[in-house]
Amino acid sequence: MSLFERWLTLWVALCILAGLVLGNLAPSLFGVLAGLEYASVNLVVAVLIWAMVYPMMIAIDFGSLKEVGRRPKGLVITLVINWLIKPFTMAALAVLFFNHLFAGLIDPTKGPEYIAGLILLGAAPCTAMVFVWSQLTKGDPNYTLVQVSVNDLIMVVAFAPIVAFLLGVTDINVPWETLILSVVLYIVIPLIAGWLTRRALITRGQPVETFTARIKPASVVGLLVTVILLFGFQGQVIIAQPLLIALIAVPIIIQSYGIFALGYAWAFVWRLPHKMAAPCALIGTSNFFELAVAVAIGLFGLNSGAALATVVGVLVEVPVMLSLVAFANRTRERFPT
pLDDT in tens, 262-284: 999 999 999 999 999 999 999 88
Please say whether the structural domain 40-225+246-334 has been given the CATH code 3.40.109.10.
Answer: no
pTM value is 0.80
Is residue 107 packed enough to be buried (19+ CB in 10 Å), middle (13-18) or exposed (0-12)?
Answer: exposed
Tens digit of pLDDT for each residue in 152-162? 778 878 888 88
Instruction: Report pLDDT for 234.
Output: 76
The answer to whether residue 3 scores a pLDDT higher than 80 is no
The answer to whether residue 2 scores a pLDDT higher than 70 is no
For the chain, the domains span: 40-225+246-334
Q: What's the number of CA atoms in the CB half-sphere (13 Å) around residue 143?
A: 28
- Read off the DSSP letter of residue 185: I
Angle subtended at Cα 327 by Cα 213 and Cα 92, rounded to the nearest 5 degrees: 120
The answer to whether residue 303 scores a pLDDT higher than 70 is no
Question: Which of the listed ranges 50-64, 198-212, 220-234 does the model predict with the highest average pLDDT?
Answer: 198-212
Q: How far apart are CA 216 and CA 236, in angstroms?
A: 32
**C-alpha distances out from residue 282 to 114, 129, 187, 259, 309, Å:** 24, 10, 17, 9, 21
- Read off the DSSP letter of residue 38: E
* Closest among 287, 295, 280 to 312, alpha carbons compared: 287
